[in-house]
Amino acid sequence: MMGYGGHHPGQPSMAEALTAAIESLLIEKGLISSDAIDAVVEKYERDIGPLNGARVVARAWVDPEYKSRLLTDATSAIAELGIKGMQGEHMVVVENTPEVHNLVVCTLCSCYPWPVLGLPPNWYKTPAYRSRAVSDPRGLLREFGLELDENVQIRVWDSSAEIRYMVLPERPAGTEGMTEEELASLVTRDAMIGVAKVRPPKKS
């Protein structure tokens, strides 16, 4: 039997093939426009998925015991918040610190933790991202606008069908008085992939 989320370079996954088939059927029957489908996908990609990850990060920032569980058994700790599902069965969360910056990639295809981050952005699936994350992570991050100090060590994590990684970004300065919900609103998808940092809130 074919499984979901295996490495099938050059070949759409079962989920992608099913999605494409359903999409063309709906369009053919005049039930839905291609634009409407794009809007749904975009919503999942931008909002629904990454919002779940942001809740996990914010909880870890305010609750040291939760954070410790998250770093030792991410799948269970994430499930504590009611978040689980396909492509998130074996999660590992890696913590950014002032000394270490983590970056997530899938060098073979586009393995990605759907339940916490939604659908992967297009750039995540490109050969350029997948190869440069390994060969020149510092230069790649610079292109994302993230300039890291020379003395910061970069660790690259290769997601696979077996393990999906997510970055626990550093909590920015100036957020001491913020609620968990406010903190979650600062956390971006890119920060949880490791191509950005979480920015401090704008001063009002």
The nearer residue to Fe ion, 9 or 82, going by C-beta atoms, is: 9
Paired tokens of 107: 């060098």
Judging by beta carbons within 10 Å of its beta carbon (0-12, 13-18, 19+), is residue 194 exposed, middle or buried? buried
Q: Is 117 in the site for Fe ion (CB under 5 A)?
A: no
CA distance 101 to 137: 10
Q: Is 183 in the site for Fe ion (CB under 5 A)?
A: no
Q: Residue of minimal CB distance from Fe ion?
A: 111
In the list 57, 105, 109, 187, the residue contacting Fe ion (rule: CB under 5 A) is 109
Paired tokens of 187: 């956390």
In the list 111, 116, 167, 192, the residue contacting Fe ion (rule: CB under 5 A) is 111
Q: How many CA atoms lie within 13 A of 83 on its CB side?
A: 26
The nearer residue to Fe ion, 55 or 121, going by C-beta atoms, is: 121
The nearer residue to Fe ion, 67 or 164, going by C-beta atoms, is: 164
Q: Is 106 in the site for Fe ion (CB under 5 A)?
A: yes
Considering only the stretches 24-32, 73-81, 102-110, 148-156, report the one whose residues sit in contact with Fe ion under the rule CB under 5 A: 102-110
Which residues are within 8 A (CB) of 173 and not within 5 positions of it... i.e. 6 or more apart? 200
Cite the active site residues: 106, 109-111
CA distance 174 to 91: 30
Q: Is the distance from CB of 117 to CB of 49 less than 8 angstroms?
A: yes
Considering only the stretches 41-49, 54-62, 74-82, 100-108, report the one whose residues sit in contact with Fe ion under the rule CB under 5 A: 100-108
The nearer residue to Fe ion, 61 or 129, going by C-beta atoms, is: 129
- Return residues touching Fe ion (CB under 5 A): 106, 108-109, 111
